[in-house]
Structure 1
Amino acid sequence: MLFAVAGLLGLLGILNTPHLAGRLLTVTACDLVLTLAGLFLPWDRFGANSPALLGLAGFAVLGLSTWSFGGVAAGTGPFLVLLYAWSALHFRRWILAAFTVPATLAYLVPLILTGQPPLVVSSAVVFLPAAVSVAFLIESQARHLRDDRMRLARIEQWRAAMISSLAHDVRAPLSTVHLVLEDLRETATGQTARMLDAAMRQTARIARLADGLLDIQRIDSSGQLKLDRARHSAAVLVKDALSYVREDADVSADIDPDLTVYVDKQRFEQILLNLVTNALRYGKPPVLVTFRRDGAIDRLEVRDHGAGIPEALRPRLFGQFAGEGPESVGLGLWIVRQLAAAHGGQAFAEAREPGVAMVITFPAAALSG
């Protein structure tokens, strides 16, 4: 882009100085060649520092341009600074230091050849050190950003590997536990049978949570999540999901018995259990779950009666790693938001007096599928 703009300005310069048309056409042709070289040459095959050759050629063309304009550097000086800035964004300091020689020649030689007065020539004493200093500052910041990006990439690779390994490693022993529980359940009776049923439900839930960990990885890598949506009774869905909540928890539900929703059952359970667990852990009972149709959307609401959440914090509650408490990882509500978005809905928090309501919307079943 830099060389393309320089070539265009060379053509425009012909309109103001037609007597220099030949020289300016030569400058424009050189800029065009460098533009095409920058766009189409396979620089990645030549090494990371190979594009620096464009910089060397660029300084030569800038010198030619200054000479073509009769030694007037007012137009080419800014391009010299921009060329140095581009170099600082992509190359190390030793290349910037090496560029001082061709940059100085590109600035001084045309001034000397065109017989400029000493005062104009001496401007290089101020201009060039300033350009080099700016370039070194840009290089320093760019280097820090590159290092930070590489460090974040390594952290992300470690996190993805950990999540994938954890999800897969949990499945094998969990399957064994579930089989043992099934065998024991066949002969159990009374309270023991009920306890084994609860244990089997929880192992099944842990298995789904392991799948959810893999979902996090899929959401991060592709931004999409495949859903198995079907029409379900909202009352049955909520009842089944709340069966995983401990029996002594103060959780109640108020669901329209005629409401049919179009959701992925497993993902819906994940959403509701995340919200109820958060309400019990960070809010104050009682926790009330409601599910109603509101025009074109189905609206799930999980409300606690705690101290509430400040208005300034509510917009970022559903962000990744947004948890601030010592026991909070900050992924639960982020997963909820991603699952809501996968359904075509939204997740947000609303103030209540007292407490806060976590609201999830879904497209109405009549308008979906």
Structure 2
Amino acid sequence: MTEGREPDRGLFGEGPQAAARQMALMFALGLGLSLAGIPSVPGQRTALVALAAVQAALALLAWRLPWHRSDPRAPLVLSLPALAILAVSTWAFGGSTAGTAPFYLLLAVWAGMHFSVRAVLALSPFVAASYLVPLFAVERGPMTLTGAVTFVPALVGVGVLIARQMEHQRRDRETIRRMERWRAALTAALAHDVRSPLTSVQFALETLDEEGELPAEQRHSIVSVALRQTGRIRRLAAGLLDADRLDSRGGLRLDLTTVPLRAAVEEAVGYLGAPVRVEVPDGLTVRADPQRLEQMLVNLTANAARHGAPPIVVSAAPDGRGMLAVHVRDHGAGVPEDKRNLLFSRFSSADTGAGSVGLGLWITRELARAHGGDASYAPADPGSRFTVTLPAG
């Protein structure tokens, strides 16, 4: 079952609860057939009544137990008593498989619908034993055993084919869910990241239009605000385009050059409204695409300003392996331990908040890897430290 989805507790659908309840129905159907078969084999009345009682108990347990709290593969254990019941039923009816063969087929279909190909294959020896042992016990003829040799592989083949098809369908549904999350992220981006800067730009333009003659210093300040906000919109558009290019494999192109690191950091942090202390030594250079380097630095410092607390410090040092490590540290509460593994995931809940759609850290890591480096997180005391490694210039 996909993480984050509400478990399906009904009869139909995916998940352990639906699988268990479908098996409960098969037990109930078997119960009815066992009771109906008693008049035809009076010599096995006791065995059939016992089978009916066992199937009634198993049907109740399979239906009532809270399977949604268990491992998704847990209902597979129900197939073992089901196979045992089928074996005893075949023996009780003198080796006749006319009544049990449809249940074997139902079991193969059920296993393929809810479990992996590996699980179906692991179940196959138990299916073979359940089908063949009672035939040997009642000494059925060679032709019946020969038929069993073809019937059991056919059952397993049905289960495998269905399991493979279900895997394809689950992957297709996951793709659709990912596209839906992407659409929702675009909507959130327009609602949060575009509307606010556009309002600032509109206010700046209206002020310039209405006030007429303004002192040069005030006019320059208003224009700077407008340019900074349009820069936010530009970076958002670039981020969304980069996410699409990174997802399409090979759509992203890097224009590598030697970049003075301190100057790049100072320019990047100039886009932020929050104060950032730059402690990058002069003379350090990296081999990077200047635009992508700026994007990584803006993403990390903006993330620190959004989620952390001042002072925010950017530092850098060689790591001794031909790479340069750039650290962005804040002095906030840090990232909770249960969210650290998700930090660099796309649409991560650890990288969301006002004005964010959870793409910044994911894009930063992908861009760093495209340069031959990486991005990582480490707790600081106090605060957080995000690190990007890039090739030294």
> Is the structural similarity TM-score above 0.5?
yes
Cα displacement (A) at 1:122: 1.8
Structure 2 residue aligned with 1:253: 278
Cα displacement (A) at 1:290: 0.8
Determine the C-alpha separation between the residues in 2 that align with 1:219 and 1:252. Answer: 31
Candidates 240, 249, 263, aligned match of 1:236: 263
Candidates 200, 206, 211, aligned match of 2:227: 200
Structure 2 residue aligned with 1:341: 369
Cα displacement (A) at 1:336: 0.3
- Judging changes above 3 Å, is the alpha-carbon distance between structure 1 residues 316 and 208 closer, same or farther for their aligned structure 2 residues? closer
Cα displacement (A) at 1:149: 2.5
Determine the C-alpha separation between the residues in 1 that align with 2:206 and 2:224. Answer: 9
The aligned runs of 1:78-157 (5 Å cut-off) are: 119-124=141-146, 126-155=148-177
- Kindly report the root-mean-square deviation, in angstroms, between the aligned alpha carbons of the 2 structures: 4.0
- Judging changes above 3 Å, is the alpha-carbon distance between structure 1 residues 244 and 187 closer, same or farther for their aligned structure 2 residues? farther
TM-score of the two chains, using structure 1 as the length reference: 0.55
- Judging changes above 3 Å, is the alpha-carbon distance between structure 1 residues 325 and 193 closer, same or farther for their aligned structure 2 residues? closer
Instruction: Give the letter aligned to residue 141 of structure 1.
Output: A
Candidates 317, 321, 324, aligned match of 1:298: 324
Cα displacement (A) at 1:301: 0.4
Determine the C-alpha separation between the residues in 2 that align with 1:181 and 1:228. Answer: 35
The aligned runs of 1:1-369 (5 Å cut-off) are: 119-124=141-146, 126-155=148-177, 184=208, 188=214, 189-223=216-250, 225-246=252-273, 249-295=274-320, 296-309=322-335, 313-324=339-350, 327=353, 329-365=357-393
TM-score of the two chains, using structure 2 as the length reference: 0.52
Determine the C-alpha separation between the residues in 1 that align with 2:232 and 2:351. Answer: 25
Cα displacement (A) at 1:220: 0.8
Secondary structure of 1:244's partner?
Answer: coil
- How many percent identity over aligned positions? 37
Instruction: Give the letter aligned to residue 307 of structure 1.
Output: A
Gaps of 5+ in 1: 1-83, 90-116
Gaps of 5+ in 2: 1-107, 114-138
Q: Does the CA contact (< 8 Å) of 1:229 and 1:264 recur in 2?
A: yes
Secondary structure of 2:259's partner?
Answer: strand
Secondary structure of 2:298's partner?
Answer: helix
Residue deviations 1:309-357 (CA, integer Å, cap 9, x gap): 3567545422223325773643211100011112221111122212221
Residue deviations 1:180-236 (CA, integer Å, cap 9, x gap): 959959965223421321221320342233122111111111245212233332222
Cα displacement (A) at 1:153: 3.9
- Judging changes above 3 Å, is the alpha-carbon distance between structure 1 residues 187 and 255 closer, same or farther for their aligned structure 2 residues? farther
Q: Does the CA contact (< 8 Å) of 1:224 and 1:342 recur in 2?
A: no
- Judging changes above 3 Å, is the alpha-carbon distance between structure 1 residues 182 and 241 closer, same or farther for their aligned structure 2 residues? farther
